[in-house]
Structure 1
Amino acid sequence: MVIKERQAGGRMEFGSLIKYYRTQKGITQTELAKGICSVPHLSKIENNTKEANEETIALLLERLSISLEEMEEKEEQIKNLLRDLSNKINFFLLKEVEEIYQELKNIEHLIPFSKHIFIWELAKYRYMLFKGLIEDAESQRDLLYKQKKNFSQHESYLFRYYNAIFLILKGQNKNADNLLDTLYVENDHDTTSGEFLYHRALVKSSLEQSGHAIHFGKMALQIYMNQHNFLRILHTLMLLGISYTHSKIYEEAEGCFQHLIRNAELLKEEKMLPQIYHNMGFLQNKMNNNTKALFYYEKSLALQQSCNEHYLVTLYSIGEIYFAQESAEKAKNSFQKVQSLAKELGSKKYRLLADFYLFHLASPQKAFKYLEAKVIPYFEETNEPIDFLTRFYKMLSDYYHENGMLHKAMSYLNKITGGLL
């Protein structure tokens, strides 16, 4: 659908609507105008170059078997459906979102004649992002970009905000962060919604700015709690739990995950439970509670499909614990499964990691050569988080120190400290 220029005033654009239905029904201008107005007058009405009185409009619509009241009701219906669609997306209610979107699609032919054309096109963009339809969303973004000069201030804000969500989904978190920061400064009064604050927290977490992620996450959580927005409360608690873990605020993190487990089980949010259990396992591992970590990782695995990236990460985490506990056979079994699944999924990262640990179980000397030659260069190239790389820098530093190669040991310690040694 081609987006039209915004109409003046607050009513449905009856001239365009009359032309649309007249051509749909195969009626000529002469047939429609007969006894109501002249053909030139009708032509001007249809092209929105002449204001027509309500009586003339009503008579033309009546001849087309459409009532003026019905059209005004449609205008109100469009407005209400668009508002409801936005609310249901904010409450993350998947079924309701789909139902309302389909209702809007059923009357989409009327929307260009209303004052809501840009809000509808923006709503479609948000819906596509909500559904993860990235290619469709990109096409819709390009279509909207061509019309942005015609947007109201509020529509311009929505377009830029949705563009930030698009960037998040594309993994361009730094660009998304810059855009959200700009919107926060420019539109402080418009950016106090839970959704905006949640997305700010999500981006800050992705950029390993855990302090900022906690700040915005707590603000979002308060709004969601005031709204009784239960699913978004769970999503925000997950985000906070992860951010507290990275900030080593373990007691707060554990509280978030315990609350999540209770409520996700109560609300039967089975899709979230594997991730909750995994993150609780990761936290327990950080706290050196290996028995508890294994317990939660195993609970996560039991609820997951085996052929996906999430399963692979959990399986690898279990292998690392067994390796640390020097349970060689259990570690070997886990890493062999990781190796096989990583090849199947095309995950070079976890294939390299599995190879390293399997080499280590057979020959530490060979493993550290592989770590230095293959694993670390790949991770440095792909910009893995520094705390992830630090573990392997420390392994190599310790290995070289134990073998009397102090210069090489120091070179890896320098990587850990950023060259401050």
Structure 2
Amino acid sequence: MIIGLGHNIRRRRKKLGLTQAELAEGIISVPYLSLIENEKAHPKPDILNPLAKRLRTSQKELLGVTDRHVLRKAENLIDKIRNALVYEDDQEAQSNLEELKQLADLIADPKVLIKTDLLEINCLIHFSEATYEEKLKAFETKWEQLEDDANLMVWYLRIKGNILFMKDQLDQALFYYKEAEKVIPQVTDELEKAYIYGNLGKTYLLSSNPSLGILYTEKAIAIMMRKDRWMEMCSMLNILGACHTHKGDYKDAIACFERVLRIADQFNFSKMLLSRTFHELGVCYLKLKDYNQAIASLHRSLEVVQPEKLPDWEVGSVHRVLCQTYLATGRLNQAEEHITQAISLLKGRERMKTECLIFLGQIHYLRENYAEFSQCYQEAIDTFLQLGTPEKVAHAAHTLGTYYIHSGHREEGVHYLLLAVEYYHRLVPGYDFDVLFPEPLQLT
């Protein structure tokens, strides 16, 4: 195991604020200490003892030896925290994390310490604490050879991807998830594999590639079923159903959502899961043009979560779909009311917030407020360009360009239509063929 003595020496040295020169003085040379810390040399007891004294610890702790009872307790707490995050039990996750962090002072095993640090970052992200990026930087400095353990490396890459996903930077998030996928053959933790597959499925869904979304989400569901992880499996079923909705396979989508509701009847699941299921059902019914069912499901999404509270961005997302539904039925006042609420709640979710500008623009168009309509679309296109979402750039530019052409503004219309062509091309690359004719066949 490469992660061991050298990492413990470096970790302890940095914790005490010692330089390599200060630790090595009178004991060994700095280059030799560097070799030890990088696991390229293994000191004998006559060197390790004085190093341990200067580090105010014991040989035993530096060697990574920890009481088995303490290790079992720590691993049990780690499992409890991960489960609490899945079941949205924030209070239990927080209390168990505090206990685990106190226990960490008695632990020398670097694997457990890395898991503890990763869990703390996970919790900070889950609780929307702004310090998670600072903690992640400290983690990357502290554990320089993380790649030596595939299970921990995948977990770390998943966290990096999740942070970017939260910021709607889907291409960058996908990069880290794909890097994690490369490590999966060496991963022994089946749940980590499932989480990566699920994240890939969700990201491909939002990147307008529902076919790949289905492929990866089904992989995640298969693992969750084998492990009897019903809550996570239902979350994956919601993603799978959303992929089917995006593809226009509404029967398959509804089957996924109804399966979640049946399973939820058998377990004490978080109300947030049910809220998300009704949300996705509402989207599906909207696509089917069953507007009454869509409105009923979306309102149910907001009602079922009480007294629990959805994050603001999720409430905003429901209001956004309610706006679409009322817009489709011509009820512009209700549509505007919901889109205004959505915009105010979607702070920090730039992609969703920008989609709201499109719907607000449509409301202005139907009211013949054409200046406000074009302003909304221009602002949306600029933001979609910054976010790197080619499909949304193409569709919005196509609409705005068509409007300008029909309203006699040819120059502006051509500009936006050419932009649409450019970004449609990025979605569906053209077929390459030779310009010149082939040589004529020599007939005999």
Q: Same fold (TM over 0.5)?
A: yes
Shift of 1:46: 6.4
The letter of the residue matching 2:364 is: F
3-state SS, counterpart of residue 131 of structure 2:
helix
Match of 2:242 in 1: 242
Aligned equivalents of 1:416, 1:344: Cα separation in 2:
29
Match of 2:174 in 1: 177
Aligned equivalents of 1:234, 1:359: Cα separation in 2:
39
The letter of the residue matching 2:148 is: Q
1:220-299 alignment, distance < 5 Å: 220-266=220-266, 267-299=268-300
Shift of 1:312: 3.6
Which of 287, 304, 314 lines up with 1:310 in the alignment?
314
Instruction: Write out per-residue CA displacement over residues 227-258 of structure 1, whole angstroms, 9 at most, x where no aligned residue.
Output: 11121111111111122222222222111111
1:49-88 alignment, distance < 5 Å: 75-88=67-80
Q: Is the 8 A contact 2:320 2:342 kept in 1?
A: no
Distance verdict in 2 for CA 1:83–1:174, change over 3 Å: farther
Aligned equivalents of 2:269, 2:103: Cα separation in 1:
35
Give me the identity figure in percent: 14
5+ residue gaps, structure 2, are 17-44, 431-444
Match of 1:379 in 2: 380
Match of 1:127 in 2: 120
Aligned equivalents of 1:198, 1:307: Cα separation in 2:
21
Match of 1:188 in 2: 185
3-state SS, counterpart of residue 188 of structure 1:
helix
Distance verdict in 2 for CA 1:380–1:350, change over 3 Å: closer
Q: Is the 8 A contact 2:282 2:293 kept in 1?
A: yes
Match of 1:153 in 2: 148
Instruction: Write out per-residue CA displacement over residues 149-175 of structure 1, whole angstroms, 9 at most, x where no aligned residue.
Output: 455711555544443344434444323
Distance verdict in 2 for CA 1:46–1:136, change over 3 Å: farther
Distance verdict in 2 for CA 1:336–1:104, change over 3 Å: closer
3-state SS, counterpart of residue 228 of structure 1:
coil
Aligned equivalents of 1:223, 1:344: Cα separation in 2:
35
TM-score by length of 2: 0.65
Aligned equivalents of 1:275, 1:83: Cα separation in 2:
31
Instruction: Write out per-residue CA displacement over residues 186-233 of structure 1, whole angstroms, 9 at most, x where no aligned residue.
Output: 441317532232223233333333222211111111111111112111
Shift of 1:99: 4.9
1:144 aligns with 2:136: no
3-state SS, counterpart of residue 340 of structure 2:
helix
Distance verdict in 2 for CA 1:352–1:195, change over 3 Å: closer
Distance verdict in 2 for CA 1:248–1:158, change over 3 Å: same
Shift of 1:293: 1.4
Distance verdict in 2 for CA 1:310–1:190, change over 3 Å: closer
The letter of the residue matching 2:332 is: A
Structure 1, 258-267 or 272-281: larger mean CA deviation: 258-267
Q: Is the 8 A contact 2:327 2:335 kept in 1?
A: no
Distance verdict in 2 for CA 1:105–1:264, change over 3 Å: same
Aligned equivalents of 1:306, 1:236: Cα separation in 2:
19
Aligned equivalents of 1:88, 1:294: Cα separation in 2:
37
1:105 aligns with 2:107: no
3-state SS, counterpart of residue 174 of structure 2:
helix
Q: Which has the larger radius of gyration?
A: 1
Aligned equivalents of 2:98, 2:272: Cα separation in 1:
25
Q: Is the 8 A contact 1:401 1:409 kept in 2?
A: yes
3-state SS, counterpart of residue 208 of structure 1:
coil
Paired residues, what number? 361
Q: Is the 8 A contact 1:250 1:283 kept in 2?
A: yes
The letter of the residue matching 1:258 is: E
Aligned equivalents of 2:92, 2:159: Cα separation in 1:
20
Match of 1:207 in 2: 207
Q: Is the 8 A contact 2:315 2:342 kept in 1?
A: no
Distance verdict in 2 for CA 1:186–1:124, change over 3 Å: closer
Shift of 1:286: 1.2
Aligned equivalents of 1:96, 1:241: Cα separation in 2:
30
5+ residue gaps, structure 1, are 21-40, 50-56, 62-67
Match of 1:30 in 2: none
Distance verdict in 2 for CA 1:76–1:134, change over 3 Å: same
